[in-house]
Amino acid sequence: MYDPKSLKAEEFISHEEILETLDYAKKNKDNVELIDQIIAKARLAKGLTHREASVLLACDIPEKIQEIYDLAEQIKKDFYGSRIVMFAPLYLSNYCVNGCTYCPYHLKNKHIARKKLSLEEVEKEVIALQDMGHKRLAIEAGEDPVNNPIEYILDCVKTIYSIKHKNGAIRRVNINIAATTVENYRKLKEAEIGTYILFQETYHKESYEKLHPTGPKHDYSYHTEAMDRAMEGGIDDVGLGVLFGLELYQYEFAGLLMHAEHLEAVHGVGPHTISVPRIKKADDIDPDAFDNGIDDEIFAKLCALIRISVPYTGMIVSTRESQKVREQVIRLGVSQISGGSRTSVGGYQEDIRPTDTEQFDVSDQRSLDEVVHWLMDMGYIPSFCTACYREGRTGDRFMSLCKSGQIQNCCQPNALMTLKEYLMDYASEDTRKVGEALIAAELNHIPKEKVRLICEDHLQKIENGIRDFRF
Taking 70 as the threshold, does the pLDDT of residue 88 lie above it?
Answer: yes
User: What pLDDT does 129 receive?
Assistant: 98
User: What pLDDT does 399 receive?
Assistant: 78
DSSP symbol at 92: E
What is the Cα–Cα distance from 471 to 391, expressed in whole angstroms? 9
Q: What whole-number percentage of the chain has pLDDT above 90?
A: 83
Mean pLDDT (whole number) for 251-259: 98
User: What pLDDT does 377 receive?
Assistant: 97
Mean pLDDT (whole number) for 29-36: 98
The set of long-range contacts for 456-463, using a CB threshold of 8 Å and a minimum separation of 24, is 458/413, 458/417, 459/416, 459/417, 459/420, 462/417, 462/420, 462/421, 462/424, 463/420, 463/424
User: What pLDDT does 276 receive?
Assistant: 96
Q: What is the pTM of this model?
A: 0.94
Mean pLDDT (whole number) for 111-128: 95
Closest C-alpha to 283, from 357, 365, 363: 357
Mean pLDDT (whole number) for 416-441: 98
Taking 60 as the threshold, does the pLDDT of residue 338 lie above it?
Answer: yes
Lowest mean pLDDT among 327-331, 396-400, 412-416: 396-400
Longest Cα–Cα distance of the chain, Å, equals 63
Taking 60 as the threshold, does the pLDDT of residue 360 lie above it?
Answer: no
User: What pLDDT does 190 receive?
Assistant: 98
Q: For the chain, what are the domain ranges?
A: 16-76, 79-365, 405-463
| Band of residue 372 on the pLDDT scale cut at 50, 70, 90 | very high
How do residues 284-308 score in pLDDT, each as one tens digit? 666 667 778 899 999 999 999 999 9
Taking 90 as the threshold, does the pLDDT of residue 258 lie above it?
Answer: yes
User: What pLDDT does 361 receive?
Assistant: 65
User: What pLDDT does 285 receive?
Assistant: 61
Taking 70 as the threshold, does the pLDDT of residue 353 lie above it?
Answer: no
The CATH topology of domain 79-365 is TIM Barrel (3.20.20)
How high is the mean pLDDT of the chain?
Answer: 94
Q: Which CA distances in Å does 31 have to 25, 34, 56, 470? A: 10, 6, 10, 49
What is the Cα–Cα distance from 93 to 91, expressed in whole angstroms? 6
What is the Cα–Cα distance from 203 to 57, expressed in whole angstroms? 17
User: What pLDDT does 283 receive?
Assistant: 63
User: What pLDDT does 53 receive?
Assistant: 98
Closest C-alpha to 273, from 188, 389, 179: 389
| Band of residue 389 on the pLDDT scale cut at 50, 70, 90 | confident
The values of phi and psi at residue 248, to 5°, are: -60, 130
Taking 90 as the threshold, does the pLDDT of residue 23 lie above it?
Answer: yes
Mean pLDDT (whole number) for 452-461: 97
Lowest mean pLDDT among 95-99, 149-153, 287-291: 287-291
Buried b (16+ CB within 10 A) or exposed e, 40-79: eebeeeebbbbbbbbbbbbbeeeebbebbbebbbebbeeb
User: What pLDDT does 355 receive?
Assistant: 60
| Residue 468 near residue 422, CB atoms below 8 Å | no
Q: Which CA distances in Å does 155 have to 165, 186, 234, 413? A: 19, 15, 19, 33
Taking 80 as the threshold, does the pLDDT of residue 187 lie above it?
Answer: yes
User: What pLDDT does 358 receive?
Assistant: 60
Lowest mean pLDDT among 121-125, 223-227, 397-401: 397-401
Secondary element (H or E) of residue 169: strand 168-169
User: What pLDDT does 388 receive?
Assistant: 86
Mean pLDDT (whole number) for 418-441: 98
| Band of residue 163 on the pLDDT scale cut at 50, 70, 90 | very high
Residue 201, class by beta-carbon neighbours within 10 Å (0-12 exposed, 13-18 middle, 19+ buried)?
A: buried
How do residues 197-209 score in pLDDT, each as one tens digit? 999 999 999 999 9
